[in-house]
């Protein structure tokens, strides 16, 4: 397994407090939206994240009768976009398509330009995206138990592809190694497609892959799926058991996506935005499109979304720390 020796420095985990109840005058808000709204995404156009952002922007434009523009600010694993929104005015006209990368990043950077919890206002958690553990079909394993037994018999010799330190596939590999008490060697590639190519040609033994990548390869017999990382089985691969149900209760690793605002948003505006976002997200055509893009719907309001963020922040910081991966 990778062993990095940089020192781990994590910010303190704050309690996410409910907004204080204020009087009517304090809750008074200017008309919203008073001008075009920008939905900022930390990823390039064309990917699955962009599908979600633009689908929501289209529905909100109709609902608000005001333009909602997706603004792509890719780079630094989503940190550029997150920092931009964390510093925006809390009037609802700049929103973030937040992802699990925000809280995963906390364990990789000694000094982030924002705090992954207190510098954002959760509005609506919308979707999740589990991954699948797949292996090359030539590897002499048929089940997750076989795979773990092989790794135990050959410490460090079983290889898994990843497309970045601290992303969901990498964290899933670390978590499985820790829960199973085995050692994998994680090989980094510059993209998920290159990592999958390495599995297909036998350069590495396997990988945790997104469902969009894994499903066609598994169905064609070019890869073998050993488990999925969600809390429940993935509907599109329902014959593949979760890792949790194969002897690792509580195992869960995946990406999530939601809309957040800057810090300091007034409670009245938070309630208004949550209601409108939930209305837009309820559109059947939008939900069908997201399902076809591989998303699992995972809806939660501001309070429950805040809990998810804090739990993930804590869990992945611990996994990275125990793996010896230190932030810059």
Inter-axis angle of helices 211-219 and 192-200, nearest 10: 20
For the chain, first and last CA: distance in Å? 19
Q: Is the pLDDT of residue 218 over 70?
A: yes
> pLDDT digit string (tens) for 226-258?
999 998 998 889 999 999 999 999 999 988 999
Q: Give the separation between CA 59 and CA 306, rounded to whole angstroms.
A: 24
Q: Are 100 and 317 in contact (CB under 8 A)?
A: no
Q: What is the pLDDT of residue 292?
A: 80
Q: Which long-range contacts (CB under 8 A, 24 or more apart) does 291-296 make?
A: 293/48, 293/51, 293/52, 293/212, 294/48, 294/129, 294/210, 294/211, 294/212, 294/215, 294/236, 295/48, 295/52, 295/127, 295/128, 295/129, 295/257, 296/127, 296/128, 296/129, 296/130, 296/230, 296/234, 296/235
Of 49-58, 80-89, 90-99, 293-302, give the lowest mean pLDDT range: 293-302
Q: Which residue has the tokens 């090989």?
A: 187
91-100 confidence digits (pLDDT tens): 999 999 999 9
Task: Using the Cα atoms of residue 210, residue 311, residue 260 and residue 272 in order, give the sign of their dihedral.
Answer: positive
User: pLDDT of 121-134, one tens digit each?
Assistant: 999 999 988 899 99
Share of the chain above pLDDT 90, in %: 68
Query: pLDDT for 140-149, tens place per residue?
Result: 999 999 999 9
Residue 19 has what DSSP assignment? P
Distance CA 227, CA 240 (A): 6
Express each pLDDT in 151-182 by its tens digit. Answer: 999 999 999 999 888 889 999 999 999 999 99
Please, what is the average pLDDT of the chain?
A: 88
Stronger pLDDT, 294 or 309, i.e. the higher one = 309
CA angle in degrees (0–180, nearest 5) for 224-189-145: 30
pLDDT confidence of residue 13: 38
How do the residues of the chain divide into helix, strand and coil, expressed in percent and rounded to 5?
40, 20, 40
Give the pLDDT of residue 163: 85
Q: Which of 294, 254, 261 is nearest to 276 (CA)?
A: 261
Report the pLDDT value the prediction gives residue 49, as an integer from 0 to 100. 85
Cβ atoms of 134 and 199 within 8 Å: the answer is: yes
């Amino acid at each position: 397994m990778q062993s990095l020796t940089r020192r781990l420095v994590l910010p303190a985990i704050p309690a996410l407090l409910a907004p204080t109840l204020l009087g009517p005058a304090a809750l008074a808000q200017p008309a919203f939206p008073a001008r075009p709204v920008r939905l900022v995404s930390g990823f390039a156009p064309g990917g699955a994240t962009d599908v979600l952002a633009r689908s929501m922007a289209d529905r909100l434009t109709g609902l608000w009768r005001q333009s909602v523009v997706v603004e792509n600010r890719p780079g630094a694993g989503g940190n550029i976009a997150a920092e931009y929104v964390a510093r925006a005015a809390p009037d609802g006209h700049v929103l973030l398509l937040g992802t699990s990368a925000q809280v995963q990043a906390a364990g990789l950077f000694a000094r982030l330009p924002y705090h992954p919890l207190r510098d954002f206002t959760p509005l609506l958690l919308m979707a999740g995206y589990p991954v699948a553990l797949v292996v090359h079909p030539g590897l002499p394993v048929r089940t997750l138990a076989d795979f773990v037994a092989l790794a135990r018999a050959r410490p460090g010799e079983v290889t898994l592809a990843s497309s970045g330190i601290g992303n969901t596939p990498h964290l899933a590999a670390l978590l499985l190694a820790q829960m199973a008490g085995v050692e994998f060697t994680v090989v980094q590639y510059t993209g998920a497609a290159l990592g999958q190519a390495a599995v297909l040609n036998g350069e590495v033994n396997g990988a945790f892959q997104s469902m969009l990548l894994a499903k066609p390869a598994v169905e064609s017999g070019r890869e073998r799926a050993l488990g999925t990382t969600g809390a429940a089985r993935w509907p599109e691969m329902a014959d593949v058991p979760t890792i949790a149900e194969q002897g690792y209760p509580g195992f869960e690793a995946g990406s999530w996506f939601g809309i957040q605002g800057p810090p300091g948003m007034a409670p009245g505006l938070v309630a208004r935005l949550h209601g409108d976002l939930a209305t837009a997200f309820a559109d059947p055509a939008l939900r069908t499109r997201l399902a076809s893009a591989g998303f699992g719907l995972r809806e939660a309001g501001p309070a429950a979304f805040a809990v998810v963020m804090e739990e993930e922040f804590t869990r992945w910081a611990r996994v990275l720390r125990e793996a010896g991966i230190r932030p810059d």
